[in-house]
Structure 1
Amino acid sequence: MLEVLTGSGLAFAAGLNAYIPLLVMGLLARFTDILELPAAWAWLGDDWVLVVLGVLLVIEVVADKIPAVDHVNDVLQTFIRPTAGGIVFAAGTGSVTPAVTDPASFFTSEAGIAFIVGLFLALTTHVAKAGARSVVNLSTAGVGAPVASTVEDVSSVTLTILAILVPVLVLVFIAMLVVVVIRMRSQRRRRRSLST
C-alpha cells in the first residue's frame, strides 16, 4: 500500500512540475541513503541526467511565471508531465525508501502497468493545473500567474518529499488540495451569481 502512495504522490507532483520529482529522486538516490532506486531507474542518479533535469527545472520555473508563456509551457508540458509521472510512479513504487522496505511486493515485473498508472495520474493533475491556471490568468489579467506557479512548485516539492519520506501523508495533502480547489470553485460561482 505504501508503494502506491509513494508512486501516486510522485506522479501527482510530476503533474504540477515534471522535473521536481525526477530531480529530487535522482539527487536523493545519488547523494543519500534515503532512496534506493531500482536498477531499471538508476540512471536518474547519473550526473548528466541531474544536470539536464536541473537546467530543465530552471527553464520550467521561469517560463511558468510569465503570463502567456505559461500557457505555451502548459501545452508543451502536456506530453512531458505525464511521461515524468509514469517514470516517477514506476521508479517510486520500486524504490526502497524509509517507508517502503520491500518494493518487490507491489510491482515485480509489471513496470509497464506502473508507468501507465503514473502517466494517468500526472495527466489528470496537469489538466486540472492548466485549466485552473487559465482561470487565474483571465481573472487576474496575468498578475496571478507567478503566485499560482510558486504555489504549484512548492506543492510539487512538498508532495515529492512526503511521498518519499511519509507516504501516508500524501493522502492528507491531496485531500487538502481537493478542498482548496472545491472552495475556489464555489467562491468563483458565488461571485458569478452576484455579478449577474
Structure 2
Amino acid sequence: MLAALTGAGLSAAAGLNAFIPLVLVGVFARFTEFIQLPAHLEWLQSWPAIIISLALLVAELILDKIPGVDHVNDLIQTAVRPVVGGVIFAATAASTVVDQSNFWQDNPLIAGLVGAVVALATHVAKAASRPAVNATTGGTGAPLASFAEDAIAVGLVLVAIFVPVLVVFVFLFMGIAVYRIVTTGRRRRRHREMRQAEERMERESHEAEGGMVAWWRSKWREPRRLSRSARHAWIEGKDGGTPTPQTPPSSQSPPTTQSPQTTQSAQTTQSPQPTQSPRTPQSP
C-alpha cells in the first residue's frame, strides 16, 4: 500500500512537471538511502541522466510561465509526462523497504501502466485549469499558476518519499483546487459575455433612438449611413461650393441637398444691387 502511494505521488508530480521528480529521484537515489532503484532503472541516478533532466527542467520552468507558450508546452508534454510517470512509478519499488512488498518490483509493466494513467490524469487536470486561469486574469496569472504547480510538484515528491500516507490528502486538495479554478473561470467568462451583450444592446438602442454616440463611432459610422446622393452632393460642395450640413437617416427630417448652382443663385438673389445715380444731361 505504501509503495502504491509513493508511486502515485511521484507520478502525479510528473503530471505537473515531468522533470522535477526525475531530478529529485535521481539525486535521492544517488546520494541517500531513501530510494533504492531496481536494477533495470539504475540509470536514473547516473550523472548523464541527472544533468539532462536538469537542463530539461530549466527549459520547462521558463516555457511554462509564458502565456500562450504554456499551451504549446502542454501539448508537447502530453506525450512526455505519462511516460515519465510510468517510469517513476516503476522506480518506486524501493519503497518495498518500508512495507516489505515485492509486488510492484515483480510487475514493472503494471507499475508503468498505473503510473502513466495517474500522470496523464494529473496532466489533463492541469491543462484544463490553465485556460481558465488565463481567461480570468488576462494572461497575468499564468506565471503564478506555474509557480504554484512547481511548488506542489516538489512538495508532492517529498511527501511521497518520506510520508506517503499524506499523498491521499494532497490528491484531495488538488482535486478541489482544479474544480474551483475551472468552475470559477467558466462562471466569470459567462458573466463577461453577458455584460458585453447587454452593453452592445444598450448602445444599439440608444443609437436607434437618435441619441448621441461616441465621437469615434460618429466619425467612422455616420459617413457610411449617408445615401449616395448625399455623399455626391457633399463632394460637389467640397469641390466647388459650400457644403450643406447633412442629417443622418436616424433623424426625423429627411436630408435635403442643394447643388452649388442653387447656392450661388441664392447668394446673388439675396445680395443687394448697387444703386446708380442718374446722369445729368450735358448742355449742347
TM-score by length of 1: 0.91
Q: In the alignment, which residue of structure 1 is the partner of 2:60?
A: 60
Query: Which structure's CA Rg is the greater one?
Result: 2
Q: Given the alignment, which residue of 164, 167, 189 partners 2:164? A: 167
Query: What is the CA–CA distance in structure 2 between the aligned matches of 1:193 and 1:84, rounded to whole Å?
Result: 37
The CA deviation string for residues 147-190 of structure 1, in whole angstroms up to 9 with x for no partner, is: 01001100100111101110000001111111222333443455
Q: Give yes or no for the alignment of 1:126 onto 2:123.
A: yes
Contact 1:23 1:54 in 2 (8 A): yes
Q: In the alignment, which residue of structure 1 is the partner of 2:91?
A: 91
Q: In the alignment, which residue of structure 1 is the partner of 2:100?
A: 102
Q: In the alignment, which residue of structure 1 is the partner of 2:16?
A: 16
Contact 2:37 2:91 in 1 (8 A): yes
Alignment of 1:138-177 (within 5 A): 138-177=135-174
Which residue identity is paired with 1:177?
M
Which residue identity is paired with 1:123?
L
SS at match of 2:106: coil
Q: Give yes or no for the alignment of 1:6 onto 2:6.
A: yes
The CA deviation string for residues 22-46 of structure 1, in whole angstroms up to 9 with x for no partner, is: 1100000011122111111111100
Offset of residue 61 of structure 1 = 0.4
SS at match of 2:140: coil
Structure 1 residues 187 and 130: alpha-carbon distance in aligned structure 2, compared to 1, 3 A threshold: closer
SS at match of 2:29: helix
The CA deviation string for residues 98-117 of structure 1, in whole angstroms up to 9 with x for no partner, is: x725241x224211111011
The CA deviation string for residues 104-161 of structure 1, in whole angstroms up to 9 with x for no partner, is: 1x22421111101111110111111111112212222211110010011001001111
SS at match of 1:107: helix
Q: Give yes or no for the alignment of 1:137 onto 2:134.
A: yes
Contact 2:125 2:178 in 1 (8 A): no
Structure 1 residues 109 and 13: alpha-carbon distance in aligned structure 2, compared to 1, 3 A threshold: same
Considering Cα pairs closer than 8 Å and 6+ residues apart, tell me whether 1 or 2 has the greater RCO: 1
SS at match of 1:35: coil
Offset of residue 194 of structure 1 = 5.3
Structure 1 residues 131 and 187: alpha-carbon distance in aligned structure 2, compared to 1, 3 A threshold: closer
Contact 2:129 2:182 in 1 (8 A): no
Query: What is the CA–CA distance in structure 2 between the aligned matches of 1:101 and 1:26, rounded to whole Å?
Result: 22
SS at match of 1:142: coil
Query: What is the CA–CA distance in structure 1 between the aligned matches of 2:155 and 2:191, rounded to whole Å?
Result: 36
Which residue identity is paired with 2:131?
S
**How many pairs align?**
193
Contact 2:81 2:119 in 1 (8 A): yes
RMSD: 1.7
Structure 1 spans left out of the alignment, 5+ residues? none
Query: What is the CA–CA distance in structure 2 between the aligned matches of 1:88 and 1:96, rounded to whole Å?
Result: 12
Contact 1:95 1:103 in 2 (8 A): no
Q: In the alignment, which residue of structure 1 is the partner of 2:71?
A: 71
Structure 2 spans left out of the alignment, 5+ residues? 195-284
